[in-house]
Amino acid sequence: MGKPFCVWKDVYLVGGAGLTHEADCSVYLVNCGDLVIVDTGAGLAFDRIVANIESLGFEPKRLRAIILTHAHIDHVGSAWRFKQEFKSHIIVHELDAGAVETGKGIGAEYYGVAYHPCAVNEKLKGVENTLKYGPHEFHILHIPGHTPGSIAVYIDMDKRVLFGQDIHGPYFLAGADPVKAKSSLQKLTSLQADILCEGHFGIIQPKEAVKKYIESFVNVL
């Protein structure tokens, strides 16, 4: 397995295939004084994610918030453990909150994973939200298409870092909407992010490469 690393300034990759478990999405940590995590993996490597956080010199008990980009098992599986172990605040868009809380429609059966339902602390509403932790503002955009409540998150820290997660889709699963997906991806292109933290295909940069990557999926929808 690989090692966690700094993506840019206060942003770190702490989980994902090749890092924690092959079923995991990419799990990103943001140091805000307190800690914020974007997505949690499939639930099969919680201890390894925690160990990676510790190896970077951070204390997991400072994990204040978990932002879930959408309700698929590879992104939400460990949410309940973070909530149970560290009292982390679980945040998800209201349109995907029901799936997180019940397990219905998260796709656990495709991974052969037992899902533990997780109560959501904050259900985001509407198209845009902003959450502030320490010095960082987390700008959250509703980007339906992959799931009804999919969100993207971006932070400006000299460079614009975009947590786009599953930009690649797929857009044919139950609950997906290719028409909405195309509009959502165009919205992400307009952000002109310098660094894209994708859900399964690594870190993409600079700005020109991010634009090209997102547009490659717009063009096939």
173 confidence band (pLDDT: 50, 70, 90): confident
- Rounded CA-CA distance 211/143 in Å is 16
- Which pLDDT belongs to residue 165? 87
For the chain, the first-to-last Cα distance in angstroms comes to 35
DSSP result, 135-201: TEEEEEEE-TTSSTT-EEEEEEESEEEEEEE-TT---SSTT--HHHHHHHHHHHHTT--SEEEESSS
Among the residue ranges 18-27, 155-164, 166-175, 184-193, the one predicted with the least confidence is: 166-175
| 220: pLDDT strictly greater than 90 | no
> How does pLDDT run across 61-70, given as a tens digit for each residue?
999 999 999 9
> How does pLDDT run across 99-130, given as a tens digit for each residue?
999 999 999 998 889 999 999 999 999 999 99
- Rounded CA-CA distance 194/150 in Å is 21
Please count the structural domains in the chain: 1
User: CB neighbours of 116 closer than 8 A, spacing ≥ 6?
Assistant: 43, 80, 81, 103
Query: Domain span at residue 60?
Result: 5-218
CATH number at residue 187: 3.60.15.10
CA angle at 79 for the pair 73 and 83, rounded to the nearest 5°: 165
Mean pLDDT of the chain: 96
